[in-house]
Every structure is written in structure tokens, then in C-alpha cells.
Structure 1
């Protein structure tokens, strides 16, 4: 055997290398005992009974258990007796309630909240035990109820809320739909525009079941308000001002593609000054309306030619007025009652414009004339009225 070697049964080992190997093994052993082992021991959670004095100032990993049942309450990081860092919280019967970040015993940072049956309630950010930041909330069926921003436990910022086929995507404020967004039912768009406190507010578009536009314009508290357009079967019905969901102010009504009325509205009815048109665009009536009926001062037209101008009561020519023939010649001026000459009035010759009769009328017939002339005058009245 060589002088500097040791007999190792099957091999010769150099003495110098053996010494080095022994030194290395000693160093590893010392390192394990003084560095690795303490770290392993430090990382091993310590079991502590809830509310025992030992818990009060403890820092490190811990498993908090109930004294009576020995079920785990909390497992995770602790600082000065409080949950701080990552941990898991359990119910009294051992069900996992929450896993994620903690700060001063409260949910904080990224975490996951569970229901008693183990289903997920929420995944996302927390602050002071409340949803805060981006997260996803689930319903009892495990379906996504909401995903988006939270603040102090309520929807806030941009998000998407779903329930029973109804989906809102847009802005939230303090848990309510507020700002710009879209509302859909079974993938069919219902509304697009502004919201405030869960109601349509501001500029928006309302859609029907087939995607056709029902209304486009202003909203306030869920009702049509301000300037807007109302449609039926994609045909424009009304354009103008709205208030409390009704036509109110100045506006236009359409019949098919033709303008039917332009003027004033009050609470959904034609009230105030306005003009009515026929299907050819000719003026039918221009003047005052009340609840959709000619009432007050106005002018009536036939085929766009002035036929009558004067007073109306509940749709009838009643009061003072003038009647014209189809060529625009004045044929009568005076009192009317329900469309007939009544009271003091004057008949004119349509050709010459001369006065034919001036006096009193009743039920469209002249009065206060000698018996032999009355039939002649009344015949003249009838002829004038029918032409």
C-alpha cells in the first residue's frame, strides 16, 4: 500500500482528500444544524389555542385551534398575535371560509371567499374585509354574477353584471348602474347610453325585441326627457321634446313617412299652437289645439286652400269666423255654431264680393226677412255653403 493512502477495502483513499472530505461533511452538518434546521423549525406552523396568552404576541406561521373541538380556526402568517400575510380562515365546523391576504386580522389583498358548501363566492382583491379593487362575484349556482371594479364592498368603476339572462356592461358608482353602459336580454341589446342610480339617464337608445330602435334621445329617471325620436316598427312616429315620458314642448308627428303634425304638445297631447297636414303635405289646419282637438283660434283648409279662419270650440267652428270658397273668395263673415252660420253675419257674392245679406242666422238659415224673400236668401245660403 502506498505511504500516503489508506486501505479502503476495495480502493486506496488518499489521506489528504479524506481529510478534506471530513472537513466538508463537518461544515455541512454544522450548517444544517445552525442554519437549515432552525429555518425548517421556524417555517413549521405552531399550534396555538385561540385566545390563549401564547397567541397574544406571537409572530410567525401558526395554526390556531379551538380549545374544545380542536378544529382549525386559522392557518397562516401572524405578526404580534394578528393574522398578517397569507392565511386560511375556517368556520367552527372546519369549512374553509377564506384564503388569501390578511392585514391586522382582516381580509386584504388578493383572496378567495367561500360559501358553507365550499362553492366560491368571490375571487379578487379585498381591503378591510370588503371587496375592493378588481374581482369576480358568483351566485349560488356558481355562475358569474359580476366581474369588475369594487369599492368598499360594492360595485364601482367598470364592470359587468349578469342575472337571469339580463346583462349590464358599463360603469358603476356606489353599487348602482351609473355612467355609460349597455343593457341586454338573452344577447339582444335593450339599451345603450347613460345611466344614473340604476335608471336610464342622459343620452341613450332603446331597442325592441328584434333590434329595432324604439327611442333615441334624452332620458331622465328612466323616462324620455328632452329632445328625442320615437319609433314604431322602425318608422319615425314623433320627433321633438319629451318630459316625464310624454311628448311635451315642440315636436312633430309622422304618419308613415309623411309629416302629420308640427307644433306644441302638453303631457302627450297636441295642445297649443300647431299645424296639421294631409298625406300630400297640404295644410289641413293651423291654429290652436287642446287635447288633440281644434280649440281656440285657427284656420281650416281643403286641399291646401283656406276654407275657414276663426274660432273653434271642441273641434267645431263656433264663435266668430270667415268662410271662403275653393277659389279663395270670401263668402261669409260672422257667427258660427257647430259649423253652421249662427248669430249676426254677412253673406257675400263670390264673384263680385258684394253683400248679399247682412243680419241674423240660426242653424245656418237667415232670419228677420220678409216671408217672400227668406226662401231666396236661404237658398243662396245653401248654395254658398255647398260650394
Structure 2
């Protein structure tokens, strides 16, 4: 009975059973369904275009072989709304659910932008303690929503993935996130230093939940993104506990590759979806520009990665989940993986961006 209890509620027990992040993790957590609407948007089927070959580790591979060898399960290339390449590997197909992992951070950022557009959150310059006053005793009055978005909050959080007693295990496998967030402390002054920490995005999740008041984050995603973007399939968002849980906003949005591609299309079109402004153009621009102020690095902005000087940007998750957007080329690439593989995906994606 003790073993059963630990498996169901103890973060350490769950850590040792499930160990590290896995592509099937969406099956082990409680979740909320995010439903699609009555209409569906489909990319146009174009003439297939892919690289002839890829040289990797001194060997030359066919592009399909390369993707399979690098543990990919889905890969899509879309230009001008035309699907130029779509492949699935390792028994996966277009209907298989794939967890987003940290790609969800970028989606959380979109929802924060929409909430600002609607006046539910007034500004990125608001202190986080306006929404989470429990953090005041820990010095968070100086931490703004922008600091969280930029990962420059100064948060004291261990991003190590192999410590069963660390913050990642607590946030990923734990069942009391609302109680854990007020325990967080700072180790740097806000705005001094960039440090990629999932705790920042989970704090954003609690800010968003409290701003929404009578809606869950999943309901907001469904209303503001999933239905308007005419997603092909229902999705789900993993929560920390079955009863009255909160969405794990730093990870754990579960969907299909084709629908992840539509997130890219939304930003490619500056927040507009077929004539309807879903999130403001200003927010998209702020989220994807280079900003070196207040400790921010060149390569990260509002939960989006900026991999090169081409004006491109991407959402990225552990195991090699990517939504890559190259506005100048009107290009979207989605890569979903069972594992990251040994490839440098930043280089692969930016090289493809140059080539198309």
C-alpha cells in the first residue's frame, strides 16, 4: 500500500519509477482536455521539397534516414502555407499525441500576451506580487512579469533533471504546485542575469490563473487559441493533480505535430489568423525581437529562442521538440522527437531556413 501511495502522490517515488522526461509522459499525469471547434484549417499539400542528403558525423545520409537516426517522430516543413514535407517515424503518425515539454513555455507567453490585450493583466511591468502576494516576504516585489518572461528574475531554482529532491522533480512530478511556488526565493537581483529556469514559467502560470479568475488556463487556451486557430485535433494540458489542479505551464501541453505547426503560423502572420487578430502584433514583435536590456541575452525573448541573426525564432522543448519560424522565408518547421539525438538542431533548422 505504501508503494502504491508513493507512486500516486510522492514526487520522489514517481521520479524513480518514471525517471527522466519521456515522450509518453502525457499518459502518466492528470490533464484537462482542450477541445477544437467545428471548423478545421488545413495546410495546402505542396510539391515535396527536401534536402537531397545530410552529412553528419562524417557520413552522408538521405534526409529521411537522418531524421530517423536522430530519434525524430515527426518532421514538417511548411512554406507559404504549403506543406512541402511531412514524415512520421517510429510507429508515429499524424494522429499521435506528442508532449510539447518546454514548447509550452512559448504557448504560455502567447496566453500572457492575450491576457494583456484584454486588460486582464495590465502590463509586463507589473510586479508579480500583485497576483501572488504570498511571494512578498521572499523579496519578489522587485520581480516583474517581464523578468519572468525574460528569465531574468534572479530566481533560486535548480534546473537539474536528475535530482529526485530538486525543483524540477517537485514541479514536474509534484502535486502541490500552488503551495510550492510561494516557497521560492531569489539568489540574484532581478534584471541582472539571464538563467533559463522552468520555475519562472510556472510562476507565470499562477499569475495567469489568478488573472483569469473564473477560467482554467486550459479553458483560456481552448477559447483564445485552439478554437480560433481551427486546430485539427483536441489537445490536453497536464496538471499537477486531478482535483483542482493547475496546468504545468513550463511544460506538458500535449498535441499533434500539425497543430503545433499552427502555433508557428500564428506568429508568422504576426498574431493574425485569417483576418482575425488573436494576439496583438505588438506582442508578437516584442516576443521575438533581440533585446539586450536588463540582463537579457541576444538569443532569448519572452519565452522564445532566437537561434540566429536571420530574424528567425523558435519554441523549444527537451527531447528535441521544435516549432521554428523564419518570417523572411515565410517558413515553418516542426520537429518532434523521442529524443534529441546527436544533431545540433539549432544548426539544422537555421541551415534549412537559409536553404528554402
Same fold by TM-score, threshold 0.5 exceeded?
Answer: no
TM-score norm. by structure 1 comes to 0.18
| Larger relative contact order, structure 1 or 2 (CA cutoff 8 Å, min sep 6) | 2
TM-score norm. by structure 2 comes to 0.19
- Rg larger in structure: 1
